[in-house]
Amino acid sequence: MLAPPLSLSPSGCPGFSLEAGKARFRGATQEGDRAVRTGQPFPAAGRGPKLPPTLGQYLSSLFSPPPRPPPARPFVVPRSLGGPLSLAPTLLAYFEISVAAGPTPPLDCVAVGLSERAHRFDRKMPGWDRQSYGYHGDDGGIFHGDGDMVGPYGPTFGAGDTVGCGVNFGAVGGASVFFTLGGRFLGYAFTGIDPSIPLYPTVGIDTASPVTFNFGASPFAFDLSTMEDAELVRARLTGALGGEGAGGSCVPGKRKGGRRRGRTV
């Protein structure tokens, strides 16, 4: 499956300018919340929508353990590896953003993540509802819900930093969201997400610093090749190259008393 190219979509929020893969907010910061996201979702690793069970399947499920889900099917995302665009199959969907260098005011925040189509990105940061996932630069926490931090995750980030977000459809725990900072893998933030729900790369911007997006047109700071090679080997061993997929639901970690950051409803 060849995935369509990603591009930024207007947020509907006044004050944004989008050009050549770069977003900049020219309005007043710390006054409300907003984000930009792509007009196309990440590829879905060959998975289709879940079908309701038949009566026989439902009755059988009451007396037997759930079947093991089939493995994901690799897809193709054109991306630069320092030379010609690569068309190698992958189980990873990934993008990066870079915040322009300069001073970072104490209350500025850039939040990197993913969202479902229903997420109100014109008034919320990613992670501030159940339809989105986010890693926030002002406190280093991850969010998925009502504005409370799910838990501490990684370092804080801001001006001069490059942050990545991806989904590994071949992870052992099911489709899983991960983040990177400065080319370093920070670990899986959310595991077992439903791969049948389209997710859109989404970035909350509460800063005047320009934010540049990279969807694979230039080499990423994070080297995907090691993770890709390992997942493709496992895919071949499990027959995923010809299989269909299915997934589970996301169960975020227990909240750890993070502060509420949502400022709008």
The domains of the chain are located at 8-242
pLDDT at 163 (0 to 100) = 98
Tokens 């054109």: give the residue: 78
Full pLDDT tens readout for the chain, 265 residues: 444 556 676 556 677 888 878 888 888 888 878 888 898 898 876 544 455 566 666 666 666 665 555 556 666 677 776 666 777 778 889 999 999 998 777 788 999 999 999 999 888 999 999 999 999 999 999 999 988 899 999 999 999 999 999 999 888 888 999 999 999 999 999 999 998 899 999 999 999 899 999 998 889 999 888 787 666 565 555 554 433 333 333 444 333 333 334 444 3
Encoded amino acid at 251, one letter: V
pLDDT at 254 (0 to 100) = 34
Q: What is the CATH number of domain 8-242?
A: 2.60.120.920
- This prediction has a pTM of 0.77
Dump strand ranges (E) for the chain: 8-9, 16-19, 22-25, 35-38, 75-76, 79-80, 85-86, 89-90, 92-99, 109-115, 132-136, 141-143, 149-152, 162-168, 176-181, 184-190, 200-206, 211-214
First to last CA, the chain: 38
